[in-house]
Structure 1
Amino acid sequence: MVGRRRRRRASVVVIVTCWTAATACGPAPSHDAESFPALDVVTEIDGLDHPWDVVAAPDGTLLTGERSGRFAVRRPDGSTGVLAADVSDLVVHDELGLMGIALAPDFAATRTLYTCQTHTTGEVTDIRVQAWTADLDWTVLAPTRVLVTGLPLSVRGRHGGCRLLPHPDGTLLIGTGDATQASAPQDPNSLGGKVLRVDAITGEPATGNPFADSAVYTLGHRNVQGLAIRPDTGDIYSIEQGTHRDDEVNRLIPGANYGWHPDTGDGFYDESVPMTDPDRVPGAIEAVWSSGPATIATASGSFVTGSGWGTWSGALAVGVLKGRQVRFLRLDPAGIRVIAEAIPPELTGTFGRIRTVAAQADGSLLVTTDNGNDDKVLRITPASRR
């Protein structure tokens, strides 16, 4: 049932390790398990079915969206509800449906939010970014404008990407998947397998983009599932799912190519090739972190901050589907190497597949589960040092 709020706490010793490839990991990271805080876990919303994203409004309202197209809220007074919204054009199958949600930076004044979702009208089927306005009582979402259309969609429902990241400079970053189209990641004219950067009001390519009159910000990606801004540097990181190996965290450089090139030349989608392939893509940027010889299915990322996290303040929290965990990565000052990893036991296995992690200004971390059976929105708060 939507709305129950439950608290649980554990304090088992955390695992700190590094599973990255040598090129991404460098020297072995520190094993400072004692420095990682114990965590409090509170269930904010339950009774959900495949919630993809979660956002917190300035008034404290929590909004999440199920892949089927249902929007659910928890208001500051504890009441919950389902928002009325016209999603009659939504396509839902396999990995696709209602996915990314983001609030406009000026949400308090404009009530504007964005979604990334599959769409069909007549003969047009694609993935697109839609702007909405929320009423003051959080009962209705009204569509206002379509910002971006034409993101590729796989008939098998794979690799939809769809992570949204509003930037303080007035732009909107969009992580896209390659839709299993072999040529898309390396094709500058395709919006698939990219990180896009558009004007958050018009949806047009943002001023200062690396390619003239193009929304493409970076290319050579497989399935971008997470985007995050590092607070102390402003650097942007993508979180990407690998094939049978090599999930990745990448530090984004405008115009850079991250090396995914599954096209054999005849249109065949070859998933046996490396995620980052400098032999086929000269100058391809190596990942900051890689899962190595096995995938854990990284699905999101967000940088936690606040004194409660101790030495882990500023670390990147990564939501993990197949590995059923939240993994914390502490980066070096340059942001190009992982120096420590933590896998807190409170978030390992107990809640199943973790889709989204979203750090909050108060130091907490919102989390959505993705099991399809009584899924939840959780709030994670550092409780104490072990």
Structure 2
Amino acid sequence: MRRVIFPALAAILLAGAAASPLLAQSKPPAATVVKSEKQAFTVETVAEGLERPWGLAFLPDGRMLVTEKAGKLRLVSPDGKVAPPVTGLPRVDARGQGGLLDVAVAPDFGKTRLVYFTFSEAGENGVNGTALGRGRLADNAARLEDVSVIWRQAPKYASTLHFGSRIVFGPDGTLFVGVGERSNPEFRVKAQALDETLGKVVRLDMDGKPAKGNPFEGRDDAKPEIWSYGHRNIQGAAINPADQTLWVVEHGPRGGDELNRIAPGKNYGWPVITYGVEYSGGPIGDGPSKPGMEQPAHYWVPSIGTSGLAFYTGDALPGWKGSVFVGGLAIPSLTRLELADGKVTKEERLLEDVGERIRDVRQGPDGLIYLLTDNPEGRVLRLKPAANGRS
């Protein structure tokens, strides 16, 4: 079942736009109890003063790595102490929606201390593209060493929009990266082209090479790293623990944000099919469906500005176990979804009164939910159960 919500069109905001100063000033009181349909919880500020934080990853000891869009990587302790920037990262092209984007810790970090990150990489004559970097976090966590770019979106284009991107480690030791189609009408059609990596999910080995068994492996007319195509701008991705499949959320244009269950080799339609329209109000493509193209598991009209995706498996917030959480940028909020047999059966909007754009959503090693707010003075928030548990 897909649920479509139609609040006033005046609420539609471009998901990549800067946060309103009024929204940035609105902060929840400490330890305020919030009631959802299945779980009463409190919202805590763990850390603040982060410059437009974008991605969050937990180290095995509970400390967090947080990217700041302008190009800094910060280490944040569980008690909220923010360390000076980690050194050793490459220069990023932070114009528009570009910058230092996602960060992920290798599954074998305890042995390798490897950290992966995505960023917008500049090329010659004003072009740029999403790149995947890797480095080894020094023992004192103050520097990334042996840093290299292990994969690049190709080709690069002159655009400051739609870089994606999220990094997800698959259960088989491979990694997925969801990348955008760079937005401009002349570029976005490349989401349907298999000889370029715009608007794709790519599946790589841990060294950034195309993973074995990809659906277009061995074809001369296709990039071997492509896992799925026809995407617009993926900014949330996670493995569903129920079936170990990859799910993503991606921005639509004016309406048409999507939650998609990703299957190898499938075409997710953009820009041929969409539930959205141009920002001018004009139509896009051939309508909402077409044979041979996948339908979303869920979509939003108008756009909520999906960013961040997490399947909640913890015990600390028992009323939410099995729920899916999606951050909202265009409509600042946290959306909770319930799934049954791969279909969305329930949607609940949370934290609308907080008034801050939610850029990332993660489950912490303590079983709590952590959020990044997208502001010039961004925060790490933590959702904890209220004393009385369920509402």
TM beyond 0.5? yes
Give the letter for the 1:348 counterpart. E
Give the letter for the 1:222 counterpart. R
Q: Against the structure 1 CA distance between its residues 276 and 81, is the aligned structure 2 distance closer, same or farther, given a 3 Å change threshold?
A: farther
Residue 141 of structure 1 pairs with residue 171 of structure 2: no
Residue 191 of structure 1 pairs with residue 202 of structure 2: no
Does the residue aligned with 1:80 lie in a helix, a strand or coil? coil
Identify the match of residue 73 of structure 1 among 59, 72, 75: 75
Tell me what 1:340 maps to: 346
Tell me what 1:108 maps to: 110
Residue 288 of structure 1 pairs with residue 297 of structure 2: yes
Tell me what 1:260 maps to: 270
- Could you tell which deviates more after superposition, 228-237 or 71-80? 71-80
Give the whole-Å Cα distance in 2 for the aligned partners of 1:199 and 1:225. 21
Tell me what 1:28 maps to: none
Give the whole-Å Cα distance in 2 for the aligned partners of 1:276 and 1:60. 46
Shift of 1:261: 2.4
Give the whole-Å Cα distance in 1 for the aligned partners of 2:81 and 2:236. 30
Give the letter for the 1:310 counterpart. P
Give the whole-Å Cα distance in 2 for the aligned partners of 1:355 and 1:197. 23
Q: Deviations over 1:183-228 (max 9, x none)?
A: 211001111111110001x211111111114110011111111111
Tell me what 2:49 maps to: 47
Q: Against the structure 1 CA distance between its residues 211 and 95, is the aligned structure 2 distance closer, same or farther, given a 3 Å change threshold?
A: same
Shift of 1:43: 1.7
Shift of 1:126: 2.6
Give the whole-Å Cα distance in 2 for the aligned partners of 1:40 and 1:274. 44
- Could you tell which deviates more after superposition, 169-178 or 362-371? 362-371
Q: Against the structure 1 CA distance between its residues 13 and 80, is the aligned structure 2 distance closer, same or farther, given a 3 Å change threshold?
A: closer
Scaled by the length of structure 1, the TM-score of the pair is: 0.84
Structure 1: stretches of 5+ with no match in the other structure: 1-5, 15-32
Asked if the contact 1:301/1:317 (under 8 Å) is kept, the reply is yes
Tell me what 1:59 maps to: 61
Number of equivalent positions: 348
Matching of residues 217-296 of structure 1 within 5 Å: 217-261=227-271, 272-273=283-284, 277-279=288-290, 282-292=291-301, 294-296=302-304
Residue 165 of structure 1 pairs with residue 168 of structure 2: yes
Q: Against the structure 1 CA distance between its residues 377 and 152, is the aligned structure 2 distance closer, same or farther, given a 3 Å change threshold?
A: farther
Q: Deviations over 1:73-123 (max 9, x none)?
A: 123576431234234531111110100111110111111011100112555
Q: Against the structure 1 CA distance between its residues 242 and 76, is the aligned structure 2 distance closer, same or farther, given a 3 Å change threshold?
A: closer
Percent identical? 31
Tell me what 2:375 maps to: 371
Give the whole-Å Cα distance in 1 for the aligned partners of 2:287 and 2:117. 29
Asked if the contact 2:268/2:295 (under 8 Å) is kept, the reply is yes
Give the whole-Å Cα distance in 1 for the aligned partners of 2:279 and 2:190. 10
Q: Against the structure 1 CA distance between its residues 236 and 221, is the aligned structure 2 distance closer, same or farther, given a 3 Å change threshold?
A: same
Q: Against the structure 1 CA distance between its residues 142 and 351, is the aligned structure 2 distance closer, same or farther, given a 3 Å change threshold?
A: farther
Q: Against the structure 1 CA distance between its residues 342 and 256, is the aligned structure 2 distance closer, same or farther, given a 3 Å change threshold?
A: same
Does the residue aligned with 1:379 lie in a helix, a strand or coil? strand
Identify the match of residue 83 of structure 1 among 82, 85, 99: 85
Q: Deviations over 1:252-290 (max 9, x none)?
A: 111111111259xxxx999732697433xx311111110
Q: Against the structure 1 CA distance between its residues 7 and 131, is the aligned structure 2 distance closer, same or farther, given a 3 Å change threshold?
A: farther
Structure 2: stretches of 5+ with no match in the other structure: 1-27, 219-223
Give the letter for the 1:118 counterpart. S
Give the whole-Å Cα distance in 2 for the aligned partners of 1:361 and 1:77. 14
Scaled by the length of structure 2, the TM-score of the pair is: 0.83
Tell me what 2:9 maps to: none
Asked if the contact 2:129/2:163 (under 8 Å) is kept, the reply is no
Give the letter for the 2:298 counterpart. W
Shift of 1:162: 1.5
Residue 362 of structure 1 pairs with residue 366 of structure 2: yes
Give the whole-Å Cα distance in 2 for the aligned partners of 1:115 and 1:284. 31
Q: Deviations over 1:336-372 (max 9, x none)?
A: x11112223xx22415100000112432111111022
Tell me what 2:30 maps to: 8
Does the residue aligned with 1:129 lie in a helix, a strand or coil? strand
Asked if the contact 1:130/1:143 (under 8 Å) is kept, the reply is no
Give the whole-Å Cα distance in 2 for the aligned partners of 1:329 and 1:111. 34
Q: Deviations over 1:30-74 (max 9, x none)?
A: xxx2xx211222222211111100111001111101011111112
Identify the match of residue 331 of structure 2 among 313, 323, 336: 323
Matching of residues 194-213 of structure 1 within 5 Å: 194-200=200-206, 202-213=207-218
- Could you tell which deviates more after superposition, 154-163 or 305-314? 305-314
Does the residue aligned with 2:188 lie in a helix, a strand or coil? coil
Q: Against the structure 1 CA distance between its residues 133 and 364, is the aligned structure 2 distance closer, same or farther, given a 3 Å change threshold?
A: same
Shift of 1:311: 4.3
Give the letter for the 1:131 counterpart. R
Does the residue aligned with 1:184 lie in a helix, a strand or coil? helix
